[in-house]
Structure formats: C-alpha cells, structure tokens
C-alpha cells in the first residue's frame, strides 16, 4: 500500500506572525520593536492605539536596541512587556536577557529568525544583484532559544502558524523572562516599497 504523501507545510511568515501577535497581545501591553524586516512588518500590520503600547527607535536606525529598552520599561512598571527582535539584532544583545532573569521580569522576547540580517541581504540583492559581495545570511543558522536557556530564561521555538497563538499565550502567562523564537520564511520580502524603488531605480 502506498503511503499518502504529506503536503509540505508553508513556512511561517513575518506578516502572519505579526498579525497573530496583534490578535493575542492585550492592547495596552507595551511592545518595543527593533530595526530590521520585522520592524517593516510591524509598522504595516501591528495596530497599537493605547498610549505607551508601541515603541520604535528610529533616531539612529541602530539595531539591537529593543531588548534593552523593553527591560528598562519592565523594571520600571513591572508589567508584561514584549520585545520584537530579529535574529541578527538579537545576536548583538542577547546577553542582556540575563538582567531580565536576575530581576525576574515578566518579559517576552519574540525573535523573528530568518537566518541572518534579512533587510541588509535584500538590499544587497536589489542594489548590487549579489555582485560578489558576501552574503548577510548566517551559516549555520543561529539558534536563539538555547542561548536564552543558557542565561536562565525559558524558551520556546515555533515553526508553524497554528502553534504561535497557544505558545504566545503560554509565554504571556509565565510572568518571567521567556524567549519565543519564530523560524520565519527567509525569502519573504519586507514591505519597504519606497526603499525597494530607490534601490532598483537609483531614486529616479
């Protein structure tokens, strides 16, 4: 008897993840967002209207700021707080999670793992079509959940949309530092149409 073939599961996208986060996270919970592809999707698809519920630092455009900001806010108010961070940005600041562990903060760090500095990689391909420049993707892919566990935080890894909602609710109820690592589609383009137009046309 021939075994039925399984339909391949489509990879989780950042847009799907952001829309799920928007549906699950209470509207007054503070969210701090880092720089990168996740930021582009969050700006487009995350609806935060309550005062103090949305924080994005664009002054210097530097990556790796959201985790520290979320920790500081969480220390000040001791309420559930979320940081949205890409894997590239997380590698710049993951050690700061130890502070949240020592302070036993109700912090949820959501990592969008697309296997590298996705925005830089997309810009490289659009502007230079590769042109012999080194890839901004990680080889091998970084795994952030074990790093979080190494500093004492809880951690979950999600690869399917159907698991994201329940996992996020579990993290929010934990009331201690938790990292939720999402393995998202590395080929999903970020919604930065104006930047894409500039890179492909030279601004003309």
Alpha-carbon distance of 159 to 183, in angstroms, equals: 5
> Average model confidence (pLDDT) for the chain?
85
What integer pLDDT is reported at residue 2 of this predicted model?
A: 55
* Nearest alpha-carbon partner for 182 in 202, 167, 203: 167
How confident is the model over 64-93, as a mean pLDDT? 94
Q: What is the pLDDT of residue 199?
A: 45
Task: Name the pTM for this structure.
Answer: 0.85
200 band by pLDDT with thresholds 50, 70 and 90: low
The predicted model gives 79-105 an average pLDDT of 95
All residues at 6 or more sequence positions from 73 whose CB lies less than 8 Å from its CB, including other chains: 30, 32, 55, 81
Instruction: Give the pLDDT mean for 33-48.
Output: 89
Is the Cα torsion angle 33, 37, 41, 43 positive or negative in sign? positive
Q: What is the pLDDT of residues 141-172, one digit of tens each?
A: 889 999 999 999 999 999 999 999 999 999 99
């Amino acid at each position: 008897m021939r075994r039925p073939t399984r339909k391949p599961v489509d990879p989780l996208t950042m847009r799907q993840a952001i829309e799920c986060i928007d549906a699950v996270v209470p509207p007054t919970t503070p969210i701090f967002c880092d720089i990168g592809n996740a930021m582009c999707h969050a700006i487009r698809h995350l609806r935060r209207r309550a005062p103090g519920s949305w924080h994005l630092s664009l002054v210097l455009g530097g990556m790796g700021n959201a985790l520290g900001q979320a920790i500081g806010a969480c220390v000040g108010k001791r309420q559930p707080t979320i940081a949205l961070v890409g894997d590239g940005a997380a590698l710049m600041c993951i050690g700061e999670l130890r502070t949240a562990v020592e302070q036993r903060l109700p912090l949820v760090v959501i990592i969008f793992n697309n296997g590298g500095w996705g925005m830089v990689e997309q810009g490289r391909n659009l502007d230079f079509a590769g042109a012999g420049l080194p890839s901004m993707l990680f080889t091998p892919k970084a795994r952030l959940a074990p790093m979080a566990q190494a500093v004492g935080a809880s951690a979950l890894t999600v690869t399917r949309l159907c698991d994201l909602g329940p996992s996020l609710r579990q993290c929010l109820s934990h009331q201690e530092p938790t990292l939720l690592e999402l393995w998202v589609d590395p080929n999903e383009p970020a919604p930065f149409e104006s930047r894409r137009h500039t890179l492909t046309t030279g601004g003309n």
